[in-house]
């Protein structure tokens, strides 16, 4: 982390305050991760209904992320951060009073706006203020908020719910969200650099999404989103169904610790060796973790699956973020993040009902095997289509060639 010592005092302070806002946000969000599927089950939902309610989270993501990306570019990254922290603070209070499945679906969709807003504003702002020569490294370090939040939040949430019930947990989640609002108020949002030359893509949503520079990252995120949505929705229920002596919060904490370790080194390494190599490795790790869950019968297998998945996520998400920055002009970063992450959002949205139906028919175990097949498909697509030709794609994906779509 010596790179931060090279920055002036005001930049270090701004990054620190932004990091604290992110830590509060992710701790609030992930404290509910091991608990909400169980809460929905207690309300009276079956496997598919649990998947549908949890999947509604992505409806808010899908509907609002493109608009929030435009808002971040045209108005302010900070305004979008405010929206994200406000929603993550308000939504947990709704779980205190909502008991019916239809209203829970609406509340989950509202809750989904939080991550659409915060991740878009946060990613664009970090890219704005990071020096170009250290961009991948800074993005990697600043993405540690997700890993730390994932380590702290689920552990606290799982044990608080087990010891005190749902109400204190929902209040804690709301409190962390309001703390995020306070930190956001102290963030400095520098003016967005305007590009006078013609942008290499249209401003329209579908034009951006299907442009060569974004199409493959979006597909990869879609397939990984399916696996991630399956994991976040059904891992606690699978652990419970197998009668393994393991708190679901520890599963997510193990994943987060592995993600933390990977994020410490991946950003700097991707600056040096290229983004493609680390995206390929991350997809291999994701596939292995899903297949290990497919075979899991004891606590150690579940924890190893969590560690490998965390390593994959810790490598994939910051590297994809750096890849998108490489391919975007400064005044379109918000839209680029918003549009490309739609793939991830769609994956999360359909993972619950689609793979929940598989779980209803043939069980959780086969469902995770299917998720492993999807992440392996993402790897094959990236190896063969990540650049302008098959040979160039293979070279880029293996760290032997440059990114043909990078703007610098």
DSSP character string of 134-148: GHHHHHHHHTHHHHH
- Beta strands (DSSP E) in 146-256 are none
The verdict on residue 194 lying in a domain is: no
Specify the number of domains making up the chain.
Answer: 1
Number of neighbouring beta carbons within 10 Å of residue 11: 17
Number of neighbouring beta carbons within 10 Å of residue 198: 7
The verdict on residue 195 lying in a domain is: no
The verdict on residue 405 lying in a domain is: no
Residue 195 has a pLDDT of: 55
Residue 204 has a pLDDT of: 66
* pTM, two decimal places: 0.72
pLDDT, averaged per 10 consecutive residues of the chain (408 residues), comes to 72 90 93 86 82 82 83 88 96 90 92 91 87 77 84 84 88 95 91 55 64 90 89 84 84 86 83 91 96 92 94 90 85 78 77 75 86 95 94 94 86
The verdict on residue 193 lying in a domain is: no
The verdict on residue 324 lying in a domain is: yes
The verdict on residue 98 lying in a domain is: yes
Residue 390 has a pLDDT of: 94
d(CA 343, CA 247): 31
Contact 89, 28 (CB under 8 A): yes
What does the buried/exposed string (b/e) look like for 135-163 if buried means 16 or more CB atoms within 10 Å of the residue's CB?
bbbbbbbbbbbbbbbbbbbbbbbbebbee
Q: Which of 401, 397, 398 is nearest to 216 (CA)?
A: 397
The verdict on residue 174 lying in a domain is: yes
Q: Which of 286, 306, 144, 291 is nearest to 224 (CA)?
A: 286
d(CA 259, CA 30): 14
Residue 1 has a pLDDT of: 58
d(CA 356, CA 156): 27
The verdict on residue 63 lying in a domain is: yes
Contact 397, 264 (CB under 8 A): no
Q: What is the DSSP letter of 400?
A: S
d(CA 303, CA 359): 21
The domain that holds 177 is classified in CATH as: 1.20.1250.20
Domain that holds residue 147: 9-188+203-397
């Amino acid at each position: 982390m010596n790179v931060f010592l090279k920055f002036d005092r005001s930049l270090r302070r701004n990054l620190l305050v932004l990091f604290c806002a992110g830590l509060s946000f992710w701790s609030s969000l992930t404290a509910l991760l091991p608990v909400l599927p169980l809460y929905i089950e207690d309300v009276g939902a079956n496997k598919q209904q649990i998947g549908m309610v949890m999947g509604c989270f992505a409806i808010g993501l899908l509907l609002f992320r493109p608009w929030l990306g435009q808002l971040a570019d045209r108005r302010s990254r900070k305004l979008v951060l405010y929206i994200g922290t406000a929603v993550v603070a308000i939504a947990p209070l709704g779980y205190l009073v909502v008991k019916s499945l239809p209203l829970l679906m609406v509340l989950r969709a509202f809750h989904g706006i939080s991550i659409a807003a915060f991740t878009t504003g946060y990613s664009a702002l970090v890219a704005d203020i990071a020096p170009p020569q250290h961009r991948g490294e800074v993005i990697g370090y600043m993405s540690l908020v997700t890993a730390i939040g994932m380590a702290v939040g689920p552990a606290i949430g799982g044990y608080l719910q087990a010891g005190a019930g749902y109400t204190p947990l929902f209040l804690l989640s709301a409190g962390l969200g309001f703390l995020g609002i306070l930190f956001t108020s102290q963030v400095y949002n520098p003016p967005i650099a305007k590009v006078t030359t013609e942008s290499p893509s249209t401003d329209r949503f579908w034009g951006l999404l299907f442009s060569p520079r974004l199409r493959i990252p979006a597909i990869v995120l879609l397939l990984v989103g399916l696996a991630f949505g399956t994991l976040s929705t059904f891992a606690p229920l699978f652990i419970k169904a197998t009668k393994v002596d393991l708190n679901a919060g520890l599963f997510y904490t193990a994943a987060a610790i592995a993600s933390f370790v990977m994020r410490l080194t991946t950003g700097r390494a991707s600056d040096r060796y290229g983004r493609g190599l680390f995206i390929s490795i991350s997809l291999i790790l994701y596939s292995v973790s899903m297949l290990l869950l497919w075979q899991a019968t004891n606590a150690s297998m579940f924890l190893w699956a969590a560690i490998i998945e965390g390593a994959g996520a810790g490598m994939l998400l910051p590297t994809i973020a750096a890849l998108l920055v490489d391919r975007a002009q400064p005044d379109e970063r918000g839209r680029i993040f918003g549009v490309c992450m739609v793939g991830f959002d769609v994956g999360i949205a359909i993972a619950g009902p689609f793979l929940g139906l598989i779980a209803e028919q043939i069980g959780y175990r086969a469902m995770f095997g299917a998720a492993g097949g999807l992440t392996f498909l993402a790897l094959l697509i990236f190896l063969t289509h990540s650049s302008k030709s098959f040979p160039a794609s293979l070279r880029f994906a293996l760290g032997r060639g440059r990114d043909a779509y990078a703007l610098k």
